[in-house]
Amino acid sequence: MFSPKKDYPEFWNSYLNTFKDKSSPYFVAFDCETTGLDPKTDRILSIGAVKFTNERIYIKECKEWFVKQHQDNAESIKIHGILPSSSQEAVFSEEEAIHEFLNYIGNATLVGHHINFDVKMVNLALKRLGAGKLKNSTKDTNSIYKRKGHFAHEQNFSLDKLCEAFHIKSSNRHTALGDAYITARVFQKLMH
């Protein structure tokens, strides 16, 4: 499907090789917390990822990578609470976090709420590392909810709104791992 190229970094070629295998038996819900909402100037603070199927969430395999920061945005800190100097359990360089993330997702279908933003942020990080763009197929919980509920004329729905609609407790909101977990739960409800 996607063949490795010699001019790409080895981590990228390893990622591309996962697409030679049959598709993954699970989905990966993921979310990025960022320094702001402008992909051109803002950076990833953390990535949370959760493997799941339609029936099960693999709690013991959930991952979150905190990225070392050299800039901050006071407004975004109010939302996610991540400080550039905060000592998280595991802090990675952007390159290390992206490598770990790609190893985790392999060829799985990625699920997110407004996933295009998160994919764009990861793709920009990949570009800075001399790699290509994510090759995984994606599913967006906002789009699926709108389509299934025939809300074509509605604006976008927040993750909180979907939690309310499906009676899902929304704890750990605005953390990458918390939002990824909630997104996995929402997607499971949408599939049933």
3-state secondary structure 154-165: CCCCCHHHHHHH
Q: Flag whether 13 is in a domain.
A: no
Residue 67 domain boundaries: 27-191
Lowest mean pLDDT among 69-83, 87-101, 124-138, 167-181: 69-83
Residue 10: count of CB within 10 angstroms of its CB: 9
Q: Flag whether 149 is in a domain.
A: yes
* pLDDT > 60? residue 61: yes
Question: Rounded to an integer, what is the distance from CA 131 to the centroid of its chain?
Answer: 18
Q: How many domains does the chain have?
A: 1
Compute CA distances 63 → 81, 141, 158, 160, 165, whole Å. Answer: 18, 20, 23, 22, 27
What is the pairing mode between strands 44-52 and 27-34? antiparallel
pLDDT at 76: 46
CATH number at residue 167: 3.30.420.10
* pLDDT > 80? residue 88: no
Sheet with 44-52: strands ordered across: 91-92, 63-67, 44-52, 27-34, 109-112, 138-140
pLDDT at 173: 79
Distance (Å, whole) CA 180 – CA 101: 13
Q: Is the dihedral of CA 7, 10, 12, 16 positive or negative?
A: positive
Q: Flag whether 98 is in a domain.
A: yes
Distance (Å, whole) CA 146 – CA 63: 29
What is the pairing mode between strands 44-52 and 109-112? unpaired
Distance (Å, whole) CA 16 – CA 134: 9
Q: Flag whether 46 is in a domain.
A: yes
Beta carbons within 8 Å of 89's beta carbon, 6+ residues apart: 66
Q: Flag whether 167 is in a domain.
A: yes
Q: Flag whether 121 is in a domain.
A: yes
Q: Flag whether 8 is in a domain.
A: no
The whole-number average pLDDT for the span 35-63 is 95
pLDDT tens for 123-171 read 999 999 999 999 999 999 999 999 888 676 767 899 999 999 999 998 7
Assessment of whether the complete model's pTM goes beyond 0.85 = yes
Q: Flag whether 6 is in a domain.
A: no
